Amino acid sequence: MTKKIVERCVIDTKPGSAEIYIDLFPKFRDMLMSVPGAIATRLLLSQNNASRFLLEMEFESQESKNLFISHPHMKSWAKEFWEHVEHETIIYYDEVG
């Protein structure tokens, strides 16, 4: 049985960068969802901190996640993305029920 990948990223953007990050998300979502085995992604904005986001991603397998990481446009998107990020924490989950 293939193990599903469930990833949650807490992302703190640099001051003044939240709007830019929101504007970058559709490009990210389109890249992710174009990959075979991508299940879902969404971006949530914290109610308590206007520069903190929760990015949720799900993949059918590690192979699907690897395809996403190697997407031809990922390098250019990541370059744009990282200049607006102050800190990122990634947490992986296993589905148990």
Q: What is the dihedral of CA 27, 30, 36, 39, to 10 degrees?
A: 110
State yes or no: pLDDT of 97 exceeds 80.
no
Residue in 24, 27, 26, 31 with CA at minimum distance from that of residue 67? 31
pLDDT tens, 64-79? 999 888 888 888 888 8
Q: What is the CATH number of the domain that holds 52?
A: 3.30.70.100
pLDDT tens, 14-52? 999 999 999 999 999 998 999 999 999 999 999 999 999
Range of the domain at 65: 5-93
What per-residue confidence (pLDDT) applies to 3? 87
What per-residue confidence (pLDDT) applies to 1? 64
User: How many domains are contained in the chain?
Assistant: 1
State yes or no: pLDDT of 91 exceeds 90.
yes
In this prediction the pTM is: 0.88
